[in-house]
Structure 1
């Protein structure tokens, strides 16, 4: 086996096939033979077809190289796949070319092998004449002449022929596009199955800057293939030995593989010929061998058996190259390399080991980016990516998950466009989606080593392992969310339990490199006004420390903006909270973070008094710290003129509203007693001044003038008010035909496929505080269960929650199932990816009952009150509004031309 021989000695690879074929003076008829007389076009120059038409010539060349001393002969199959053979109309014969050439080479190698000198066959696999990473049209940079899947099918057919023919190794050579190479590696791994057939790679450097034709540095290329089971990596073509040597030395120093080199016979001259001779090349090859740079050495363009005859004696008795140890660092790449240290950050330089992931190319997190993608304003969208890199983002997160976008098509388009922008493409990409087909489509666009965001155990081990194997197949790193079948981990104990389970599965069952695993232990909103949320940040930090110490090699990431969601609208406070959180989390091992790279507030910028208070909140030092923090927001104290007046000068209604707005119930009991004397029915107090107060809270929260903890506090004050009124409400049951004594039920559920429930839980608290009976079905709830419980409990409303884009499709499914069941219960829709337009276009048309979109939790009681008191009129308003939205949307879509139509109509500068 070649694996055994390569440790003992330097192996000699053969030289060029095409150069030697020219010596035979073949004509067009030699290339056509008897089989291809009717094929149109010129056949001469298609050397691979000679396997079928002049096998005697190819057999003779194999034997000449073996006689010259070659230990490895490569098959005559450099272009023997459907993509290249399409130029000759010979696609149907591609596999036969590979099978025939491999069998001839196998026969020759076996004939020349002895027990002490075995000979080997390498199946030659070229890059094809097309590239997956670059557009063939400079005016259309997103276009690709060939897709990953098309090339994969062609390579699979070629690999199967080579392996069936008996090759000892697969040599993927003259690599100029790393994405093409990744496709070939993917096909080789699948074609060989459980057979021990090594995969050899050989790159061609295209310029003096040391980059491939598609723009990658040598280090970046190594990162691109670092997750694959590679046997050897080398250099060939392009340069002669002298020009190749500096890059070969670099490769030998950094690549943890056996090293090969088969250079051209010098650089081609002005006539396209090669000036080097066997005598002038031999001393240069001797340097490769004597300096311990190579394990395999041979020739490329311009070399012949005469060259190999000179090389073979040079290797006798010489020690082969010793591969370096594989780096424990995570290696990522765009056009350039990004190394991520495996060590914890230094407390004295807490940003030194942190990888900033730009968050703005995310349609779920940036309204501007979403608008630009919807409008097909890709050039402006690219400016957002470019600005993030300029501001210091080391990785770009790209997410196209929106219910009204074709996420898969948009992901492919945008990643293809990024590839055409070197200043953006130099950094790795984080492919971010909750749809697996979108992630796979994205992975098939990038030549560098990217990050998948994300996989989790929420659908069980089988799906988790399947997704992990897909990621490893594509050579990417992966973010693992701390979710499992029970839902989202919110405590320290649950975070580390899920992380440890996932780590064992990935490393032991899938074979994942530990350094390619990034755990996201869930950055969740703190200071929400709910006591159980106060420890979310400090538990994340504790879990980070445990993971870094107990799961060797793994990394930690998180979506930092989630932390401060309670204070949206106050950017300074949010950035200050992020800075404090990162300061402590990074010291414990957090080395990735999805953040805004242009943030202006740093840890050292925060005034001492504010810093202590923010740290109290982040580290959960005091239960009252969140309320104290609101005192420094500035906007938090924004109140109406009514609230600033003396309580004694306010009207009863203003006092009740003010109590809700401030969340202070000290005078609530006396005010409500006065209200009971003034209003005819107790329910009028709830539907009048109390709901007016809640409306004002919702308005201020929407404008960023109030924050989530204040909203929760308001909800509790509302609950206090309802409790005070409860005896009067009960007494009114007998003679009040209104709704005062009838406690309304709301069923809440996070839909199937989604395990996020923090927002839903906040809604539950607010609705309960407003006097509703809440039936919470939890997460991952299938449609049939929602329908059945809605019937069994005779609920008055249904609240559907979802954070990821597939949830939108499932909400449509739930609405359909409710409609099939003959129900018309009002549905309230909420969650980060939901929108009023999606409700209008997708959900409302399939359901007979009212469907309402809610922007945030504070709106739920207000909408619920309208649904319970005036549902018919409210439904008419909604239907009218939705109809107008649908009409506007369809008109807008008609104005946008398809990409193909836009290309058809493009201005022609020259006729």
Structure 2
């Protein structure tokens, strides 16, 4: 039976998975010889005691399970390295998959197929905390999945995820293994939410949904840590916002510490009733058990679900990005999405000086300052001549992963620098940016950037630049935007709502004739882009419009221009949030001078630029938070 058949079955009915492997092994009377001297290494039993593993699979299938998990939860780099056998990942994964496949095939009939879920555990090293680097994990997970695919699994189950970056490494490692094998199977992702209400590192369930759905997972849900009662609200969120199928595998109640270790208090009838409720309330399609569950739990669960129809779901995805901790929607109810611009080596002298002097704590303090000032995202740019951009990005993104509660916009023209950032951040990032400056050919920057964005499920800022240069008129901005949106959606499979078009703005206070209309052309382009593609996001580096003017003039012009752009449909702005003034705080004379300059209201005897300079002559800035 193929993974595609599994998805077909899930669309029609509830699929019941097995219960705990570890719980069963603890009662199997195994000794140190059975583990080949590697005490506690359950995966070695796939080759030393295959009869025991087969008997456990057999017991769960006899109880009525539709699917069994392979005994490969710890067949990963971190776990096996502790035993000195990390070189056996693929071997032990393949052996575990073959055992489950053979037993499942023995129970399968044309009317009642049985499936094998390849279990992928988190290991003991968390990449966000620097215990291990992302690539080491990803490549090891690729080897594990390759072994499981060779052994005949029907799906990959990434479970008990405590760190979103670890989950990302496992999912993308699995995808790479499938591509190499020429065989795709569904991917199921289960995060573990503690009794604190978040994942171990502090991630809310909303952050997990936002970060993991763009990686192409077919099912998303929860397992381990708690019983079903503690999972309910988190599962409700998944049901409401995740567009794939929902799955859940709780422990047999909240574990309690007894004289012989953890005890799980929930009996078969109580667990079955709770899981039945998840099916009828949240439309859960794949259910099973984690720690403390046994074949008897599964037998009662199968009976309880007989004839039960899952609730109909109408999930509503909220386009946005996520930090390790929280999700942030692109569309803000109370105004424009503010992208903090000060963590940018090209735009902030303070940040650049701290970076060049390796004063990382100062860099982090600048980031925290932007959070206090009201930013929703942080724009991180470390590009500087003669610096190791990828190295700088790796260090700073790694620090920001746990220092900042805000998602990160990775800002660089170099694919290697963007890749370094994506490999340090478990949340969902924005990549700034892609454009057609050197075309779309195989060696173009666009062609080198897009595979990274696609693999990591990032959103993308798309600049209206093509082979002819930066678009300056409404017509050219809209034309390039159309080409970008078409290419990204049809060529790279991106959702329109994950594309952030930047129609660009330029300094309008230079006095040069060719720059006079740049502000109003940008506003007109924004309005037309939003009319044609209501779901697309838009952004601007707002402070570009005022470059070269006095600080006081810049503050007012930026604020007025931002207001006009928001009225035209701007969704986000790369700004210094604390330096944006509300319209009510700007004197009428200053506001009118800025509007005349933005809309190039020249007439005989009146030059809006000259008037603007006069109005702000000798005026000092005022900060408004």
Per the TM superposition, whether the score is higher than 0.5 is yes
* 1:334 CA displacement: 4.2
* 1:454 CA displacement: 0.9
Contact 1:292 1:319 in 2 (8 A): no
* 1:552 CA displacement: 4.2
What corresponds to 2:79 in structure 1? 84
* 1:362 CA displacement: 1.0
Match of 1:282 among 272, 281, 290: 272
Compared CA separation, residues 146 and 486, structure 1 to 2 (3 A): same
- Determine if the alignment matches structure 1 residue 16 to structure 2 residue 32: no
Contact 2:321 2:407 in 1 (8 A): no
Larger RCO of the pair (alpha carbons < 8 Å, separation 6+): 2
Compared CA separation, residues 291 and 628, structure 1 to 2 (3 A): closer
Alignment of 1:763-782 (within 5 A): none
- Determine if the alignment matches structure 1 residue 500 to structure 2 residue 482: yes
CA distance in 2, matches of 1:407, 1:466: 17
What corresponds to 2:109 in structure 1? 114
Alignment of 1:331-346 (within 5 A): 331-341=321-331
What corresponds to 1:752 in structure 2? none
TM-score (norm 1): 0.65
- Determine if the alignment matches structure 1 residue 590 to structure 2 residue 570: yes
| Structure number with larger C-alpha Rg | 1
- Determine if the alignment matches structure 1 residue 232 to structure 2 residue 219: yes
What corresponds to 1:410 in structure 2? 392
CA distance in 2, matches of 1:444, 1:29: 40
- Determine if the alignment matches structure 1 residue 559 to structure 2 residue 541: yes
- Determine if the alignment matches structure 1 residue 145 to structure 2 residue 128: no
Q: Match of 2:220, SS? A: strand
Q: Match of 1:598, SS? A: helix
TM-score (norm 2): 0.93
Compared CA separation, residues 562 and 600, structure 1 to 2 (3 A): closer
Alignment of 1:394-473 (within 5 A): 394-421=376-403, 424=404, 426-462=405-441, 463=444, 464-473=446-455
CA distance in 2, matches of 1:559, 1:242: 47
Number of residue pairs matched by the alignment: 605
Compared CA separation, residues 552 and 192, structure 1 to 2 (3 A): farther
Alignment of 1:29-68 (within 5 A): 29-32=33-36, 42-68=37-63
| CA displacement, residues 584-637 of structure 1 (integer Å, 9 cap, x when unaligned) | 11111111111011115332222222222211110122162112222123159x
CA distance in 2, matches of 1:168, 1:353: 46
* 1:438 CA displacement: 0.8
CA distance in 1, matches of 2:273, 2:78: 39
What corresponds to 1:217 in structure 2? 204
What corresponds to 1:300 in structure 2? 290
What corresponds to 1:630 in structure 2? 613
Q: Match of 1:160, SS? A: helix
* 1:287 CA displacement: 2.6
* 1:453 CA displacement: 0.9
Q: Which moved more, 1:370-379 or 1:304-313?
A: 370-379
Compared CA separation, residues 250 and 119, structure 1 to 2 (3 A): same
Contact 1:334 1:429 in 2 (8 A): no
What corresponds to 1:71 in structure 2? 66
What corresponds to 2:234 in structure 1? 247
CA distance in 2, matches of 1:563, 1:408: 30
Q: Match of 1:270, SS? A: strand
Alignment of 1:745-756 (within 5 A): none
- Determine if the alignment matches structure 1 residue 581 to structure 2 residue 561: yes
CA distance in 1, matches of 2:303, 2:586: 70
Contact 2:202 2:324 in 1 (8 A): no
CA distance in 2, matches of 1:406, 1:93: 36
* 1:181 CA displacement: 0.8
Stretches of structure 2 that go unaligned for 5 or more consecutive residues are none
| CA displacement, residues 509-539 of structure 1 (integer Å, 9 cap, x when unaligned) | 1100111111111111112111111111111
CA distance in 1, matches of 2:148, 2:428: 28
Q: Match of 1:264, SS? A: coil
* 1:331 CA displacement: 4.4
Compared CA separation, residues 600 and 100, structure 1 to 2 (3 A): closer
| CA displacement, residues 268-321 of structure 1 (integer Å, 9 cap, x when unaligned) | 222322233324433333332343442111110111112111111111111124
CA distance in 2, matches of 1:417, 1:190: 27
Match of 1:265 among 252, 264, 275: 252
Contact 1:258 1:322 in 2 (8 A): no
* 1:469 CA displacement: 2.6
What corresponds to 2:600 in structure 1? 620
What corresponds to 1:139 in structure 2? none
Over the aligned positions, Cα root-mean-square deviation in angstroms equals: 1.8
Contact 1:465 1:510 in 2 (8 A): no
Stretches of structure 1 that go unaligned for 5 or more consecutive residues are 33-41, 135-143, 346-350, 637-703, 705-911
CA distance in 2, matches of 1:595, 1:242: 44
What corresponds to 1:519 in structure 2? 501
CA distance in 2, matches of 1:283, 1:489: 61
Match of 1:534 among 516, 521, 538: 516
Compared CA separation, residues 334 and 558, structure 1 to 2 (3 A): farther
What corresponds to 1:729 in structure 2? none
CA distance in 2, matches of 1:458, 1:537: 22
What corresponds to 2:456 in structure 1? 474
- Determine if the alignment matches structure 1 residue 368 to structure 2 residue 317: no
What corresponds to 1:5 in structure 2? 9
Q: Which moved more, 1:275-284 or 1:235-244?
A: 275-284
Contact 2:43 2:74 in 1 (8 A): yes
